[in-house]
Amino acid sequence: MTGMGRVAVLGYLSIDTIATPAGIHRDVPGGAALYAALGARAAGADVRLHACAGEDFAPHWLAALARCGVDVDGVEHRVGPTRRARLAHGDDGRRASPHHAEALWWERTAALAPTIPAAFEADVVVMAPMPMASFAPALDAARRSAVRAVADTSEAFAYREGDALLARLGELDVFAPSREETRVLLPDLDDDEAAAALAARGCAVLQKRGAEGALAIEGDARTRLPAPATTPIDPTGAGDATVGALAGYLAAGIAFVDAARRALEVGAGTVTQPGPAALGLAWRDAQGDA
């Protein structure tokens, strides 16, 4: 019925400063690709990470990822700094991502674009949020390799290139944006309608709704998935870990809605500790960097 599947994760790494009501955490390794890779591992998959690290991405972070079972041989080293994000999470679940307004963030997004392999050796590829300049060739490569594609986006990319993204949704197996991103893509529709309109383009949709769970749509079937009970400490990466876990369960042969339900458990677990700690990434080194 199910066995270990192979997941390739393509996207970006980051070095995060995370402000929560309980305190601030600096120099936390992150990025959607890192959280998705760990989420896929949590789902039991064999995971290969395709991303670029800047000169400031600590080697011991990659070693820690490898200890988590993530194949980091596909992580390339590039000159200059890694992307950095300052993530502020409010008590009410609102979040601010001021880094998207910075020219440097966009410059590093271009400089650290992941190398697209000629073919993916995987059952499922996760396309973490990325500009269309990477998304388009990545989807081409997934289709050439007959690998299922699960993609996410971010509000910043949805604002800039929404129409180009919409035009390729039908080639995905699953599109898994947050509710906020679907509002950017289809501003005239309510959340349920937007998710249905996205699915009508020919992919399954998992519309992530934070503490309210998610809406899963496959064909004409809509399933409301409640968020599992959890104790939220830091929501950073929950959506990305959910998408990675979804890919992991799909790769193991589990059907979409069941895979999505299980993936939300991984997302709910992710929020219980700062950064990627709940996913098993012990990133602080012996010298005690915080």
Ligand X SMILES: Nc1ncnc2c1ncn2[C@@H]1O[C@H](COP(=O)(O)OP(=O)(O)OP(=O)(O)O)[C@@H](O)[C@H]1O
Residues that bind ligand X (CB under 6 A): 178, 208-211, 213-214, 227, 230, 232, 235, 237-240, 242, 264, 267-268, 271
Q: Which ranges of the chain does DSSP label H, i.e. alpha helix?
A: 32-42, 59-67, 103-111, 132-144, 155-167, 179-185, 191-199, 238-251, 256-270
Q: What does 213 bind: Mg ion, ligand X, none (CB cut-off 5 to 8 Å by kind)? A: ligand X
Residues 6+ apart with CB under 8 A from 5: 44, 45, 46, 123, 124, 248, 250, 251, 252, 253
Q: Min. distance of Cβ 238 from ligand X in angstroms?
A: 4
User: From ligand X, Mg ion, none, which one binds at residue 74 (CB under 5 to 8 Å depending on kind)?
Assistant: none
C-alpha–C-alpha distance, residues 174 and 243, integer Å: 10
211 or 257, CB closer to ligand X? 211
In the region spanning residues 228 to 247, those forming contacts with Mg ion, defined by CB under 5 A, are 239
Rounded-to-integer distance, Cα 214 and Cα 217, Å? 10
- CA 278, CA 123: separation in Å to the nearest integer? 26
Q: Which does 46 bind (CB under 5 to 8 A by kind): ligand X, Mg ion, none?
A: none
Over the window 163 to 192, marking each residue x when it contacts Mg ion by CB under 5 A and - when it does not, the resulting string is ---------------x--------------
Of 60 and 222, which CB lies nearer to ligand X in the complex structure? 222
How many residues touch Mg ion under the rule CB under 5 A: the total is 2
Decide if residue 11 touches Mg ion (CB under 5 A).
Answer: no
In the complex with ligand X, the residue whose CB is nearer, 36 or 141, is: 36
Contacts of 239 (CB under 8 A, 6+ apart): 152, 176, 178, 208, 267
Looking at beta carbons only, is 58 or 211 nearer to ligand X? 211
Which of 124/141 has CB closer to ligand X?
124
246-285 burial code (b ≥16 CB/10 A, e <16)? bbbbbbbebebbebbbbbbbbbbbbbeebbbbbbebebbe
Residue 232 interacting partner from Mg ion, ligand X, none (CB closer than 5 to 8 Å by kind): ligand X
